[in-house]
Amino acid sequence: MANNLKFRMQSADVIPNTIVRYVSSGNSVLFRWLWVLMVISSMFSGHVCVADRPNVLFLISDDLNNSLDCYGHPIVKTPNIDKLAERGVRFERAYCQFPLCGPSRNSMLTGLHPNSTGILANSQIFRQTIPSHHSLPQSFRLEGYFASRIGKLYHYNVPKSIGTNGHDDPGSWELELNPAGCDRLEEEPHIFSLKPGQFGGTLSWYASPKSDQYHTDGLLAADAEWVLERCARRKDRPFFLAVGFYRPHTPYVSPKPYFNRYPEEQMPVVRGVKEDQADLPSPALGSYKKEQDKLTDDLRRQCVQAYFASITFMDAQVGRVLDTLDRLGLAENTIVVFTSDHGYHLGEHGLWQKMSVFEESARVPLIIAAPKTGVKGGVARDPVGLIDLYPTLAELCGVKTPENLQGQSLVPMLKDPSVTGRGWAITQVSRRLRKKQGNRFYGYSLRTPRWRYTEWAEGERGRELYDHDADPRELTNLAANPGYADTIARLSRELRKAVRQTFPDSGETPQLRPALWAPNLTNP
Ligand SMILES: [Ca+2]
Ligand SMILES: [Ca+2]
Summarised one tens digit per residue, pLDDT across range 384-416 is 999 999 999 999 999 999 999 999 999 999 999
- Pairwise CA distance, residues 466 & 188, whole Å: 41
Q: Does the pLDDT at position 361 exceed 90? A: yes
CA of 100 to the centre of ligand 1 (A): 6
* DSSP state letters, 80-133: HHHHHHHHSEEESSEE-SSSSHHHHHHHHHHTS-HHHH---SSS--GGGTSTTP
CA of 125 to the centre of ligand 1 (A): 15
Average pLDDT over every residue of 204-211: 98
Q: Are 262 and 305 in contact (CB under 8 A)?
A: yes
CA of 64 to the centre of ligand 2 (A): 24
pTM: 0.90
CA of 68 to the centre of ligand 2 (A): 25
Nearest alpha carbon to residue 253 among 289, 300, 218? 218
| Residues paired with residue 274 on neighbouring β-strands, in sequence order | none
Nearest ligand, CA 280: 2
Q: What was the pLDDT predicted at 49? A: 58
CA of 341 to the centre of ligand 1 (A): 5
Q: What was the pLDDT predicted at 512? A: 93
CA of 73 to the centre of ligand 2 (A): 22
Q: Does the pLDDT at position 3 exceed 70? A: no
CA of 353 to the centre of ligand 2 (A): 18
Nearest ligand, CA 479: 2
| 372 contacts: CB under 8 Å, gap ≥ 6 | 54, 396
pLDDT band at residue 514 under the 50/70/90 scheme: confident
Backbone angles phi, psi at 400, to 5 degrees: -70, 140
Cα dist. 435→103, 286, 439, 443 in Å? 20, 12, 9, 17
pLDDT band at residue 89 under the 50/70/90 scheme: very high
Q: What was the pLDDT predicted at 515? A: 81
H/E stretch holding 57 reads: strand 55-61
Average pLDDT over every residue of 429-454: 89
pLDDT band at residue 8 under the 50/70/90 scheme: very low
CA of 469 to the centre of ligand 2 (A): 16
CA of 374 to the centre of ligand 1 (A): 32
Q: Does the pLDDT at position 43 exceed 50? A: no
Average pLDDT over every residue of 77-91: 98
CA of 438 to the centre of ligand 2 (A): 30
| 94 contacts: CB under 8 Å, gap ≥ 6 | 339, 363, 364, 365, 366, 383, 384, 385, 386, 425
CA of 376 to the centre of ligand 2 (A): 38
3-class state of residue 231 by DSSP: helix
Q: Does the pLDDT at position 519 exceed 90? A: no
What b/e readout covers 459-491, taking b as 16+ CB neighbours within 10 angstroms? bebbbbbbebeeeeebeebbbeeeebeebbeeb
Q: Does the pLDDT at position 490 exceed 70? A: yes
Q: What was the pLDDT predicted at 42? A: 42
What is the chain's percent helix, strand, coil content, to nearest 5?
Answer: 40, 15, 45
What percentage of the chain reaches a pLDDT higher than 90?
85
Q: Does the pLDDT at position 368 exceed 50? A: yes
- Lowest mean pLDDT: which of 232-246, 262-276, 291-305, 431-445? 431-445
Task: Output DSSP code: residue 251.
Answer: S
pLDDT band at residue 435 under the 50/70/90 scheme: low
Q: Does the pLDDT at position 18 exceed 60? A: no
Compute CA 121 distance to the chain's CA centroid, rounded to the nearest angstrom: 14
Average pLDDT over every residue of 443-448: 98
Q: Are 126 and 168 in contact (CB under 8 A)?
A: no
CA of 66 to the centre of ligand 1 (A): 14
Q: Are 48 and 237 in contact (CB under 8 A)?
A: no
Q: What was the pLDDT predicted at 37? A: 52
Higher-scoring residue by pLDDT: 202, 521 = 202
Q: Are 203 and 194 in contact (CB under 8 A)?
A: yes
Q: What was the pLDDT predicted at 20? A: 32
- Lowest mean pLDDT: which of 347-356, 425-434, 512-521? 512-521
CA of 507 to the centre of ligand 1 (A): 28
Q: What was the pLDDT predicted at 517? A: 74
pLDDT band at residue 31 under the 50/70/90 scheme: very low
Higher-scoring residue by pLDDT: 202, 48 = 202
Average pLDDT over every residue of 38-65: 72
Mean pLDDT of the chain: 91
CA of 158 to the centre of ligand 1 (A): 9
pLDDT band at residue 28 under the 50/70/90 scheme: very low
Cα dist. 62→223, 227, 250, 339, 505 in Å? 18, 21, 9, 9, 31
Nearest ligand, CA 272: 2
**What sign for the dihedral angle of Cα 65, 70, 75, 77?**
positive
- Lowest mean pLDDT: which of 33-42, 296-305, 429-438? 33-42
CA of 342 to the centre of ligand 1 (A): 6
- With 0-12 / 13-18 / 19 or more C-beta atoms within 10 angstroms meaning exposed / middle / buried, residue 261 is middle
Backbone angles phi, psi at 233, to 5 degrees: -80, -10
Q: What was the pLDDT predicted at 222? A: 98
Nearest ligand, CA 273: 2
Nearest ligand, CA 281: 2
Nearest ligand, CA 276: 2
What percentage of the chain reaches a pLDDT higher than 70?
88
Q: Does the pLDDT at position 257 exceed 90? A: yes
CA of 281 to the centre of ligand 2 (A): 10
Compute CA 504 distance to the chain's CA centroid, rounded to the nearest angstrom: 22
Q: Does the pLDDT at position 32 exceed 90? A: no
**pLDDT tens across 105-124, in order?**
999 999 999 999 999 999 99
CA of 444 to the centre of ligand 1 (A): 19
Average pLDDT over every residue of 92-96: 98
Residue type present at position 9 = M
| 510 contacts: CB under 8 Å, gap ≥ 6 | 116, 117, 118, 129, 130, 504
Cα dist. 224→61, 108, 170 in Å? 14, 22, 18
